[in-house]
């Protein structure tokens, strides 16, 4: 890169933020997502920017999350379980929010360096109404965020006209009809559903 005279090289289609030092004051970087909507692969990723500043004649780069609504993916995975109990997964879950979720359901937070995932375990005999209560409490923790559902090109597309839903948490909490659609959509149709 240096021989070609480049001081900046941008890469695309990398979901997570990347900063790699190539040489003194030369970096390869990608801030990840610049907007907080579904990214096409069905997963939720944090949004932010790479901030650079010179300190003692050295360029220092850091990733800064945007103070905006984040995309969160919450889903029930009946195809993977722990002791025959279905998992509830929350992608793009901060450590702070995972602590609130841990007060609601058993689970653990996993740090992936660029985003956190909460993997919870639901009670084996939990019925649909109990699930609705838990999901509503989770939505209150993420009330300023946006939720994306797993894709279901068969059942959900036939029923609603589209395979994946994107919902504002405040809307889900205020509209019982949309909440019911969301609750139905968050249950993964198959083990391969994105």
Residue written as tokens 């702070």? Answer: 96
Assess whether pLDDT exceeds 70 at residue 75: yes
| Of the candidates 41, 47, 74, the residue with the CA atom closest to the CA atom of residue 149 | 74
Read off the pLDDT of each residue in 25-50 and give the average, rounded to a whole number.
Answer: 62
Which one-letter DSSP state was computed for residue 180? Answer: H
In 3D space, the residue among 63, 149, 38 whose CA is nearest the CA of residue 113 turns out to be 63
The first and second tokens of residue 147, run together, are 């939720």
Which residues sit opposite 106 in a β-bridge? 121
Q: With cut-offs at 50, 70 and 90, classify the pLDDT of residue 36.
A: low
Confidence bin at 88 (pLDDT 50/70/90)? very high
Choice between 8 and 146, residue whose per-residue pLDDT is larger: 146
Please list the residues that pair with 47 across neighbouring strands.
33
- Enumerate the β-bridge partners of residue 146: 71, 168
**Is 105:88 a contact under the CB 8 Å cutoff?**
yes
- 98 or 190, greater pLDDT: 98
Calpha distance 190→79 (Å, rounded): 7
> What is the average per-residue pLDDT within 128-151?
92
pLDDT top residue among 88 and 61? 88
Could you tell me the pLDDT band of residue 117, with boundaries at 50, 70 and 90?
very high
- Give the chain's radius of gyration (CA, Å): 19
DSSP state of 43: -
Section 90-118 average pLDDT: 91
Query: Cα dist. 7→29, 32, 59, 63 in Å?
Result: 12, 20, 12, 19
State which of 15-24, 43-52, 107-116, 171-180 shows the largest mean pLDDT. Answer: 171-180
pLDDT band at 98 (very low <50, low <70, confident <90, very high): very high
C-alpha to C-alpha distance for 119 and 108, rounded to whole angstroms: 6
- pLDDT mean over 26-37: 61
Q: Which residue from 75, 177, 182, 84 is spatially nearest to 126, judged by alpha carbons? A: 84
User: Residue 132: is its pLDDT beyond 60?
Assistant: yes
CA distance 13 to 139: 29
In the DSSP assignment, the letter for residue 50 is E
> Residue written as tokens 């029930």?
76
pLDDT of residue 59: 77
pLDDT higher than 80, residue 81: yes
Q: Is the pLDDT of residue 78 over 70?
A: yes
Above 70 in pLDDT, residue 140?
yes
């Amino acid at each position: 890169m240096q021989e070609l005279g480049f001081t900046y090289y941008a890469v695309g289609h990398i979901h997570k933020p990347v900063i790699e030092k190539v040489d003194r004051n030369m970096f390869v970087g990608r801030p990840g997502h610049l907007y907080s909507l579904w990214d096409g692969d069905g997963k939720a990723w944090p949004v932010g920017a790479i901030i650079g500043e010179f300190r003692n004649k050295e360029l220092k780069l850091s990733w800064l999350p945007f103070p905006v609504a984040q995309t969160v993916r919450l889903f029930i995975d009946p195809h993977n379980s722990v002791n025959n109990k279905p998992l509830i997964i929350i992608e793009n879950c901060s450590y702070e929010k995972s602590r609130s979720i841990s007060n609601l359901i058993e689970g653990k937070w996993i740090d992936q360096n660029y985003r956190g995932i909460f993997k919870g375990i639901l009670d084996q005999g939990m019925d649909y109404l109990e699930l609705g209560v838990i999901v509503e409490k989770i939505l209150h923790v993420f009330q300023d965020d946006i939720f994306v559902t797993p894709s279901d090109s068969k059942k959900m597309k036939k029923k609603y006209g589209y395979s994946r839903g994107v919902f504002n948490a405040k809307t889900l909490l205020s509209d019982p009809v949309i909440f019911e659609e969301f609750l139905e959509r968050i249950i993964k149709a198959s083990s391969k559903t994105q």
